[in-house]
Amino acid sequence: MSAAGKLAIDVSGVTKRFGARTVVNRVDLQVERGEIYGFLGPNGSGKTTFIRMLCGLLTPDGGTGTCLGHDFLTGQALIKREVGYMTQAFSFYGDLSVSENLGFMARIYGIPDRAAAVGRSLERLGLQNRGGQLAGELSGGWKQRLALAACLIHNPQLLLLDEPTAGVDPKARREFWDAIYQLSQDGITILVTTHYMDEAERCHRIACLAYGNMLVRGTVAEIVGSAQLSAWSVSGAELGKLARALRGQPGVEQVVPFGDTLHVSGHEGAALEATIASHRSQSLEWTKIRPSLEDVFIGMMDRAGDNFR
């Protein structure tokens, strides 16, 4: 397979403006087939706008490239047939059963044997015993499964999942990600937006966006390693008082409580260590640590320009 054929998404310079505000600013993205790719960014970073352009629900103001081999500007109708899009909000009919909702989606896609397609979707997501239950009576985790089953009813090659686990419990989140891994093993490409650092760390690669701009992309290890962020953990007495004293000091960018410790970090390692030296005492234990993805992400957000200002 050619290099181009290995890419499910290969777009460059994708741009979207609403009035005078640019909400997606010349974003490039390449995602391999079968890859789980995470989009990480704060609210208003342009994640949802980007994936809506990718699947043809919004028209870009600029950019070139392909999605599933189709020109993402002129082949939107073809792309829609091969993409499953799971929105942030539950968008199915609460007064219809699980099976009826899936049957409705099968009809929208013109699937010939709808009953068989519904049966396959129920089995794939473990919904066999809930086919007759009203969608509005499902818990958050089961609603999530229904939404994913509906995305898969037409056997798409690409799944676009927009904050799919928001508001569900940890067990349901883990089960959802088990299903995502299986879909990836089956060759389906997945682009998922999330606010959860542990979910971002489950992805093969991630991209961090802020205010419409791509900040960094790569594996978690690559992003953390290239951040050049120094981080320390401190434990001991009166950590609240220490946190107040550290904030605003040279080299200190973040002071974050973690249980009975503080994490202190900054990009200017020498300045940070000098500040720490002035706060060492017998009652405090300082340990240099590897910064977490959350440390790196927050540091990038603090440095990014806000396009709403």
In tens, the pLDDT along 81-122 reads: 999 999 888 888 999 999 999 999 999 999 989 999 999 999
Tally of domains within the chain: 2
Same domain for 187 and 250, yes or no, is no
Longest CA–CA span in the chain (Å) reads 74
Same domain for 11 and 157, yes or no, is yes
The residue segments making up the domain with residue 239 are 230-290
Question: What is residue 34's predicted lDDT score, i.e. its pLDDT?
Answer: 96
Question: What is residue 119's predicted lDDT score, i.e. its pLDDT?
Answer: 92
CATH of the domain at 214: 3.40.50.300
Question: What is residue 1's predicted lDDT score, i.e. its pLDDT?
Answer: 46
289, 277 Cβ separation under 8 angstroms: no
Q: Indicate if the pLDDT at residue 169 is higher than 90.
A: no
Question: What is residue 104's predicted lDDT score, i.e. its pLDDT?
Answer: 94
pLDDT band at residue 56 using 50, 70 and 90 as cut-offs:
confident
Same domain for 137 and 268, yes or no, is no
In tens, the pLDDT along 194-235 reads: 888 889 999 999 999 988 999 999 999 999 999 889 999 999
**Which tokens hold the place of 131?**
């086919």
Burial code of 32-46, b = ≥16 C-beta within 10 A, e = fewer? ebbbbbbbbbbebbb
Same domain for 213 and 246, yes or no, is no
In tens, the pLDDT along 1-34 reads: 445 568 999 999 999 999 999 999 999 999 999 9
Question: What is residue 45's predicted lDDT score, i.e. its pLDDT?
Answer: 87
pTM exceeds 0.75 for this model: yes
Backbone angles phi, psi at 143, to 5 degrees: -60, -40
In tens, the pLDDT along 132-149 reads: 999 999 988 888 889 999
Average pLDDT over residues 143-163: 92
Question: What is residue 190's predicted lDDT score, i.e. its pLDDT?
Answer: 97
Alpha helix (H) residue ranges in 195-266: 197-200, 220-226, 239-246
Q: Is residue 309 part of a domain?
A: no
Same domain for 74 and 174, yes or no, is yes
User: C-alpha distances in angstroms, 177 versus 56, 128, 150, 280?
Assistant: 26, 19, 17, 43
CATH of the domain at 284: 3.30.70
Alpha helix (H) residue ranges in the chain: 47-54, 76-81, 98-108, 114-124, 140-152, 170-185, 197-200, 220-226, 239-246, 269-277, 293-303
Question: What is residue 305's predicted lDDT score, i.e. its pLDDT?
Answer: 58
- The β-bridge relationship of strands 230-236 and 70-71 is unpaired
CA 168-174-179 angle, to 5 degrees, is 105
Same domain for 140 and 280, yes or no, is no
In tens, the pLDDT along 231-288 reads: 999 999 899 999 999 999 999 999 999 889 999 999 999 999 999 999 988 789 999 9
Strand order in the sheet with 70-71: 21-32, 7-18, 62-67, 70-71
